C-alpha cells in the first residue's frame, strides 16, 4: 500500500472517465493532478526518495537516473508533470 492511497483513489474516483497516465512504481511521489490537461503531477524530491528507498540507489545515482530516464521520458500528451520542488 502506498502513502498516497487516498489521493490516488480520489483522483481515480473523481476522474473515472479520464485516461490518466501513471508512472509505474512512483505512486508515493504523486502530489496532484493538473485538471486542464489531466496530467498527474509528481514531486521530483519524492521520486528521488522512491529511487533511493525502493530501487536501492545512492542519492547521486537516483538524481542522474531521474534526469535521464524519468524527467525526459515522453509517453504522449498526458505525460506526467515532473515538479521541481523544494522540500
Range of 67's domain? 5-83
- pTM for the whole structure: 0.91
pLDDT band at 1 (very low <50, low <70, confident <90, very high): low
Please tell me the predicted confidence (pLDDT) of residue 87.
61
Please tell me the predicted confidence (pLDDT) of residue 86.
78
* Phi, psi (degrees; rounded to nearest 5) at 70: -115, -60
Expressed in angstroms, the distance from the first to the final Cα of the chain is: 23
**In total, how many domains does the chain have?**
1
Please tell me the predicted confidence (pLDDT) of residue 3.
72
The set of residues, in sequence order, having a beta carbon less than 8 Å from that of 54 and lying 6+ positions away, is 25
- Return the percentage of the chain with pLDDT > 70, whole number: 97
- Average pLDDT of the residues in 57-76: 96
Amino acid at each position: 500500500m502506498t502513502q498516497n492511497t487516498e489521493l490516488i483513489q480520489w483522483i481515480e474516483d473523481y476522474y473515472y472517465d479520464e485516461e490518466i497516465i501513471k508512472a509505474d512504481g512512483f505512486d508515493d511521489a504523486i502530489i496532484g493532478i493538473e485538471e486542464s490537461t489531466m496530467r498527474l503531477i509528481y514531486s521530483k524530491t519524492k521520486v528521488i526518495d522512491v529511487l533511493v528507498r525502493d530501487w536501492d540507489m545512492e542519492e547521486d545515482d537516483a538524481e542522474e537516473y531521474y534526469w535521464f530516464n524519468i524527467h525526459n521520458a515522453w509517453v504522449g500528451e498526458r505525460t506526467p508533470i515532473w515538479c521541481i520542488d523544494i522540500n
